Amino acid sequence: MSSLITASHVAKRYGHVDALKDINFTINKGQIVGLIGPNGAGKTT
pLDDT of residue 41: 81
Q: How many CB atoms lie within 10 A of CB 27?
A: 14
Does the global pTM surpass 0.75? no
pLDDT tops 80 at residue 31? yes
* Residue 44 pLDDT greater than 90, yes or no: no
∠ CA(34), CA(13), CA(20), 5° rounding? 40
User: Residue 17: which pLDDT band, with cuts at 50, 70 and 90?
Assistant: very high
